[in-house]
């Protein structure tokens, strides 16, 4: 299922630029729906696809849609809050023991 691209906070572009200066990066992101995936390597830049979608590009050939990023080298990305809520969803279960 393809999701619509959501604009990210402009501050996040500064973070991506800083991470691009490093020799190696690890990005966790939401792939298809809620499947968490990982991309590794040197971040080489950003590219646009279609009208608005922006992707973080790695020297390995991996591309990650920036609005689906959970963390970049351990720093929260645009999807961190959604991931955090998803990861803790089990705490909201109202199970009644019989």
Question: What pLDDT, in 10s, does the model give residues 55-76?
Answer: 999 999 999 999 999 999 988 8
Position 20 scores a pLDDT of 93
Position 91 scores a pLDDT of 53
Phi, psi of 43, deg, nearest 5: -75, 120
Range of the domain at 52: 10-92
Q: Considering its fold, how many domains does the chain have in total?
A: 1
pTM attached to this predicted model: 0.78
Q: What is the 3-state secondary structure (H, E, C) of 29-77?
A: EECCCCCEEEEEECEEEEEEECCCEEEEEECCCCEEEHHHEEEECCEEC
Whether 98 maps to a domain, the answer reads no
- Tens-of-pLDDT digits for all 98 residues of the chain? 467 888 888 989 999 999 999 999 999 998 887 789 999 999 999 999 877 899 999 999 999 999 999 999 988 888 866 765 665 555 555 545 44
Q: What is the CATH number of the domain that holds 49?
A: 2.30.30
């Amino acid at each position: 299922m393809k999701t619509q691209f959501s604009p990210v906070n402009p501050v996040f572009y500064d973070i991506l630029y800083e991470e691009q200066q490093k020799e190696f990066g690890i990005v966790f992101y939401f792939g298809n729906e809620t499947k968490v995936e990982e991309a590794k390597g040197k971040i080489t830049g950003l590219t646009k696809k279609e009208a608005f979608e922006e992707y973080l590009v790695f020297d390995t050939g991996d591309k990650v849609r920036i609005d689906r990023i959970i963390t970049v080298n351990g720093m929260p990305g645009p999807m961190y809050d959604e991931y955090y809520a998803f990861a803790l969803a089990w705490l909201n279960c109202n199970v009644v023991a019989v």
